[in-house]
Chains A and B, each alone.
Chain A
Amino acid sequence: MFDTPSPLPPLPGVGYKPQHYSAILNDPAPVGWLEVHAENYMGDGGRPLAQLRALAERFPISVHGVGLSIGGPERLDPDHLARLTHLVGWLNPASFSEHLAWSTHDSHFLNDLLPLPYTLTTLERICDHIDEVQEALGRPMLLENPSSYLAFAESTMSETDFLREVTRRTGCGLLLDVNNVFVSSVNLGYSPQDYITAFPMDAVGEIHLAGHDEDEDDFGAPLLIDSHGREVAEPVWALLDQVLKQSGPRPLLIEWDNDVPDWPVLAAEAQRAQAALSQGALPPSPSGRLPRDIFGQKKPGGGAHA
């Protein structure tokens, strides 16, 4: 009964919120697929599983885990991996993804995506964990780039080199979160365009977009917070255009997890994602490079979409 799942379509998707259940079934356009957090569907029954079963009859589903702690030094929690294997087994989703991050310490789950240094030691650890997950699930997974608020002095590899090596060693795909790239680049002072140029785009099976908040650090430097609580910021849309020129159309998700708006607001973001995908389907410009000033747009909400 286990068919090989079709991949996610290169269309806009949204992170599923139960309050949108009826609206999505009645008027999903332009949403072509849905993403759910794995851990919310690991109960024994009731409304969450009933809704997921009904949605899975209408939409390709992406299962996005937040609890495996792939980036942690401890071994993967065998109970949690078993729960995940069960969910992926019966749902047979189009995709499974997790994070380049950790969330469990001393068997305590901290409910956040926490960072790690990029070294040969952590590379080996991550690859071991991904091998274990892919073996348990019997399918390749996607690994998502994190949003960073700080750097580890001991890191010896760039994030893009680290991710490229992970895909090479494990055969996993990547989930490129463009908002995370922008947030990390501002917070750590590097060029997001250079990051995108260096990203192993062939491995990208899905793209994420989300909103962020603005704060500052001890020195008054901008510190962006990956809050998932508002519209996608203008510079992130601009960066997406660069991504799509490199990658071509890919499954493109809007994440909105806090202060979740009514369905029409989220659908409008998906509509804009659809427009970006159509635009990105055009052949790259002859120079093959983007103008360098796309990062120059300042505040979210200011100016027209490039």
Chain B
Amino acid sequence: MPEASTTEAAFRVGLLRADGAIPEGVTDGAGRPAGRRYDVYRNNVAVALREALETGFPAVAKLIGPENFARAAGLYLRRDPPETPLMMQYGASFAAFLEQIDALRGIGYLGDVARLELAMRRSYHAADAVPFDAGRLAALEDSTLRAARLILAPSVQVVRSPWPVLSVYRYTMLPDQPKPQARAEDVLITRPEFDPAPHLLPQGGAAFIDALRRGLTFGAALTAAGADFDLPATLTLLLQQGAISDLQTA
């Protein structure tokens, strides 16, 4: 494959650099140096990536305000440009990046809000699945159920947080929401049809779902969920939301 020319190479390297250097060998139509014509490309790249982040993380943008978000996004897109042309996947490391910015350390929950938004985006684009018929569950003997495996729909996501991440998210994005109270919150994201919906998980719910995802049996997942696990509430939520796509008996 033919190599890039010197000008091409300089053009490419300069796009994500903030120092304003203009590559040699690019001109206007009359042979004069391109100057800010090159900045149009540099600006297009920065704006396109920043807008992708704004689209993907609207609650983060609201929490810190558009100017702070633009500054954070500008740093992030230079440090972590997209790895693929699928912008729907961009920003997987944004939460961890936000947590490293000193000026944002005071907003402890910010990273987890970003994780929640990323999880909702992943749920939105996940493969479709036909919900499992809850009647099949009720028909099982207790011992058969304990040995069975529940298969989660691909759109199911869980976010665990020491912060009231769902309350903060709702307070930020929806009208008339109660002020968040200081507490840890685990969030289940389901997608009954096309729109991902976040739900607060009962005690032990996240550990239970994590165990199911790892392929453990129903009985083993119950054990993993701990003594305080609220099975009826968790199971009702999963079934009502179409979050279980299959049941495999031993």
**Docked pose: A81 CA to B25 CA in angstroms:** 32
- From residue 147 to 161 of chain A, which have CB atoms closer than 8 A to chain B? 149-154
**Docked pose: A117 CA to B32 CA in angstroms:** 16
**Are B155 and A46 in contact, CB atoms less than 8 angstroms apart?**
yes
- From residue 270 to 287 of chain A, which have CB atoms closer than 8 A to chain B? none
Chain A residues near B28 (CB, 8 Å)?
150-151, 187-189, 217, 219, 221
Q: List 14 A-B contacts (CB under 8 A).
A: A42-B88, A43-B126, A44-B127, A46-B128, A66-B85, A106-B12, A111-B48, A111-B49, A114-B41, A116-B8, A117-B8, A149-B41, A150-B34, A150-B38
Number of interface residues of A (CB under 8 A): 59
Give 1 or 0 for each of B91-102: 1 = CB within 8 Å of chain A CB: 000000000000
- From residue 182 to 203 of chain B, which have CB atoms closer than 8 A to chain A? 191, 194-195
User: A43-B88, A46-B194, A153-B25 are known contacts. Are A75 and B45 too (CB-CB below 8 A)?
Assistant: no
- A-B contact number at CB 8 A: 161
The segment from A2-10, A28-36, A118-126 that touches chain B is A118-126
Is B1 in contact with chain A by the CB < 8 A criterion? yes
Give 1 or 0 for each of A92-120: 1 = CB within 8 Å of chain B CB: 00000000000111111111101111010
**Are B32 and A219 in contact, CB atoms less than 8 angstroms apart?**
yes
**Docked pose: A208 CA to B214 CA in angstroms:** 49
Number of interface residues of B (CB under 8 A): 51
Is B62 in contact with chain A by the CB < 8 A criterion? no
**Are A125 and B1 in contact, CB atoms less than 8 angstroms apart?**
yes
Chain A residues near B48 (CB, 8 Å)?
110-112
**Are A75 and B29 in contact, CB atoms less than 8 angstroms apart?**
no
Q: Which of A50, A73, A83, A187 touches B29 (beta carbons < 8 Å)?
A: A187
Is B30 in contact with chain A by the CB < 8 A criterion? yes
Is A292 in contact with chain B by the CB < 8 A criterion? no
**Are B41 and A109 in contact, CB atoms less than 8 angstroms apart?**
no
Q: For A124, give the chain B residue with the smallest CB separation.
A: B2
- From residue 35 to 71 of chain A, which have CB atoms closer than 8 A to chain B? 39-40, 42-50, 66-69
**Docked pose: A178 CA to B112 CA in angstroms:** 46
Is B36 in contact with chain A by the CB < 8 A criterion? yes
**Are A189 and B7 in contact, CB atoms less than 8 angstroms apart?**
no
Chain A residues near B37 (CB, 8 Å)?
149-150, 187, 217-218, 223
Chain A residues near B49 (CB, 8 Å)?
110-111
Is B35 in contact with chain A by the CB < 8 A criterion? yes
Is A128 in contact with chain B by the CB < 8 A criterion? yes
**Docked pose: A238 CA to B88 CA in angstroms:** 38
Q: Which of B11, B40, B84 touches A223 (beta carbons < 8 Å)?
A: B40
**Are A44 and B125 in contact, CB atoms less than 8 angstroms apart?**
yes
For the complex of A and B, the 10 pairs showing the least CB-CB separation, nearest first, are: A67-B85, A43-B125, A189-B29, A188-B29, A47-B194, A108-B81, A44-B127, A218-B35, A73-B4, A45-B128
A: residues with CB less than 8 A from B are 39-40, 42-50, 66-69, 73-75, 77, 79-80, 83, 103-112, 114-117, 119, 121-122, 124-125, 128, 149-154, 187-190, 215, 217-219, 221, 223, 225
With most chain B CB atoms within 10 A of its CB, the pick from A42, A48, A149, A187 is A149
User: A46-B126, A187-B37 are known contacts. Are A108 and B31 too (CB-CB below 8 A)?
Assistant: no
**Docked pose: A7 CA to B38 CA in angstroms:** 38
Chain B residues near A190 (CB, 8 Å)?
29
User: A153-B7, A187-B37, A190-B29 are known contacts. Are A104 and B2 too (CB-CB below 8 A)?
Assistant: no
**Docked pose: A110 CA to B78 CA in angstroms:** 10
**Are B36 and A217 in contact, CB atoms less than 8 angstroms apart?**
yes
**Are B8 and A103 in contact, CB atoms less than 8 angstroms apart?**
no
**Are B85 and A80 in contact, CB atoms less than 8 angstroms apart?**
yes
Q: For B41, give the chain A residue with the smallest CB separation.
A: A114
User: A150-B37, A154-B5 are known contacts. Are A109 and B27 too (CB-CB below 8 A)?
Assistant: no
